[in-house]
């Protein structure tokens, strides 16, 4: 470029935060649109630092119309140097009068898939490498990044230690059998014992290994020394369901607290989510306004309502009674002991309570082995947090800290005690009451962004049959 000297680089958000009349600046970004008249061309430039675009005016007497028409198309990347002119009487507060530009990368208008019009989310899912060029995904990923920071901040400020639990694991934490197996054994000729068992001693770890479905078990071990911990990382579930709520790779936040009982844990979960909602409202005004306008007309009302109202707490038994009294004919019949289906959860949250609902004390046979058994012999000290539009965002429990009860339950479920030795050790040495929960990041992001499909709140989704 002829005139880089004396044109300091500023991002578009820096220009919006502090516009200086007649300042010489250079700014860089991608072309959203171009419009060419006889004497000037107008380019709408975006750079990802804000949802707002910068209007660039290219006078043809300075920059030839032929060059502009050959090079500047939607999607192309440019560095533009020029003079910032304030235009307080127009729709945009200022514009950059270009003196010159560099074309970093052209974008062929015949093949570039994004146009100015609003593309459907389904279409954008097929081009997940390019969808981040749209304001929708810039807003969503900006919120995702900010909320991740807010999550760390929340726990760090309350004395929780961030721990890293392993991704490769020998055991199935949730006992739901949704594990991805990891192996270096040759799949075309798996070594076998004469009796038909796989010769795992020849596998990389000398025993079967999987991608973790949850960091909880190791989180519990660490909480037994550190007191309060949290994990924040990817988890993997070979979940065959093709639903808008399930991913095969998703991010989970799992706090685990020594000396917490179920009530303290539900209080924490509620405070935590409320905090995230308030953080979004205060830090992502621009993004939320955009998402509300484009996708979910009630978004801000819904978010604001979380600030004021407490979640409704219902025991599982009460929830069953509410469903039975509803007079609804559900597709899945409701009786004590059944697992709550999406239709039941929706009724409870959206029609009965009209606010988030916490359900606690579930029947033990529908929940994981590690949950603390209640005195009634039938239920465990588990809880789920259910949200409008989304369903379950949190699952958690008080853990069974009593060695004998835990062993008995594991035996009842035919679990291989040998592979849970270290877990059982925590119950043999200095065991304490403790509790924790898991928040699905993508689920809470559905609520925060107004999106309806978890594939749209993670940059590159992995779901059954799909790797974006």
440 contributes a contact to ligand 4AD by CB under 6 A: yes
Q: Which residues bind Mg ion (CB under 5 A)?
A: 395
* Closest among 455, 454, 429, 432 to 444, alpha carbons compared: 454
392 contributes a contact to ligand 4AD by CB under 6 A: yes
Which range of residues in 3-11, 79-87, 250-258, 359-367 is near ligand 4AD by CB under 6 A? 250-258
Helix (H) or strand (E) holding 154: helix 135-156
Binding residue (CB under 6 A) for ligand 4AD from 34, 228, 246, 409? 246
Place of tokens 């860089």: 28
199 vs 213: CA distance, rounded Å: 24
Q: Which of residues 154-173 bind ligand 4AD (CB under 6 A)?
A: 173
Q: Which of residues 181-200 bind ligand 4AD (CB under 6 A)?
A: none
> What DSSP state is assigned to residue 131?
G
Q: What strands, in cross-sheet order, belong to the sheet with 379-387?
A: 161-162, 228-236, 249-258, 434-440, 391-398, 379-387, 357-363, 312-315
* Closest among 221, 169, 173, 222 to 370, alpha carbons compared: 173
Distance of alpha carbon 50 from the chain centroid = 21
263 contributes a contact to ligand 4AD by CB under 6 A: no
Contact of residue 100 among Mg ion, ligand 4AD, none (CB under 5-8 Å per partner type)? none
Cβ-based neighbours of 333, under 8 Å, separated by 6 or more = none
Q: Considering beta carbons, is residue 29 or 396 the nearer one to ligand 4AD?
A: 396
Which range of residues in 13-21, 151-159, 356-364, 436-444 is near ligand 4AD by CB under 6 A? 436-444
- Phi then psi dihedrals of residue 45, to 5 deg: -110, 140
Least distance (Å) between residue 203 CB and ligand 4AD: 26
Place of tokens 């978004």: 299
In 359-389, which positions are buried (b, 16+ CB within 10 angstroms) versus exposed (e)?
Answer: bbbbbbeebbbbbbbbeeebbbbbbbbbbbb
Binding residue (CB under 6 A) for ligand 4AD from 443, 449, 450, 455? 443
Contact of residue 246 among ligand 4AD, Mg ion, none (CB under 5-8 Å per partner type)? ligand 4AD
Q: Which of residues 200-219 bind ligand 4AD (CB under 6 A)?
A: 214, 216
393 contributes a contact to ligand 4AD by CB under 6 A: yes
276 contributes a contact to ligand 4AD by CB under 6 A: no
Q: Which residues bind ligand 4AD (CB under 6 A)?
A: 173-174, 214, 216, 237, 239, 246-247, 250, 252, 254, 392-397, 436-438, 440, 442-443, 454
């Amino acid at each position: 470029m002829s005139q880089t000297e004396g044109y300091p680089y500023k991002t578009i958000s820096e220009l919006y935060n502090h516009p200086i009349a007649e300042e010489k600046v250079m700014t860089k970004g991608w072309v959203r649109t171009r419009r060419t008249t006889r004497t000037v061309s107008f380019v709408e430039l975006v750079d990802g630092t804000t949802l707002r675009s910068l209007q660039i005016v290219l006078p043809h007497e300075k920059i030839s119309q032929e060059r502009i028409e050959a090079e500047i198309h939607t999607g192309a990347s440019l560095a533009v140097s020029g003079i910032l002119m304030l235009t307080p009487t127009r729709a945009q507060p200022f514009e950059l009068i270009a003196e010159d530009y560099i074309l970093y990368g052209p974008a062929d208008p015949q093949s570039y898939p994004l146009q100015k019009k609003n593309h459907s989310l389904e279409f954008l899912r097929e081009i997940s490498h390019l969808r981040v060029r749209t304001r929708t995904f810039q807003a969503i990923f900006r919120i995702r990044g900010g909320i991740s920071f807010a999550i760390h901040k929340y726990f760090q400020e309350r004395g929780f230690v961030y721990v890293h639990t392993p991704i490769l694991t020998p055991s199935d934490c949730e006992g739901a059998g949704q594990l991805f197996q990891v192996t270096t054994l040759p799949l075309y000729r798996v070594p076998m014992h004469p009796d038909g068992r796989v010769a795992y001693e020849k596998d990389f770890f000398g025993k079967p290994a999987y991608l973790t479905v949850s960091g909880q078990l190791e989180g519990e071990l660490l909480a037994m020394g550190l007191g309060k911990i949290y994990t924040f990382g990817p988890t993997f579930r070979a979940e065959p369901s093709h639903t808008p709520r399930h991913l095969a790779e998703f991010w989970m936040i799992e706090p685990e607290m020594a000396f917490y009982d179920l009530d303290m844990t539900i209080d924490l979960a509620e405070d935590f989510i409320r905090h995230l909602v308030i953080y979004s409202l205060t830090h992502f005004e621009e993004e939320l306004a955009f998402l509300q306008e484009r996708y979910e007309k009630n978004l801000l009302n819904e978010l604001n309502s979380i600030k004021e109202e407490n979640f409704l707490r219902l025991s599982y038994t009460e929830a069953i009674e509410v469903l039975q009294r509803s007079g609804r004919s559900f597709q899945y019949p409701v009786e004590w002991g059944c697992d709550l289906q999406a239709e039941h959860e929706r009724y409870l949250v959206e029609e009965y309570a009209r606010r988030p609902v916490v359900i606690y004390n579930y029947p033990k046979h529908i929940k994981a082995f590690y949950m603390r058994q209640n005195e009634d012999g039938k239920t465990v000290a588990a809880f789920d947090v259910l949200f409008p539009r989304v369903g379950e965002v949190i699952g958690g429990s008080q853990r069974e800290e009593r060695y004998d009860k835990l062993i008995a339950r594991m035996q009842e479920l035919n679990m291989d005690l040998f592979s849970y030795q270290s877990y059982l050790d925590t119950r043999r040495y200095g065991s304490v009451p403790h509790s924790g929960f898991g928040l699905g990041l993508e689920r809470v992001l559905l609520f925060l962004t107004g999106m309806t499909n978890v594939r749209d709140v993670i940059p590159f989704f992995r779901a059954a049959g799909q790797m974006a």
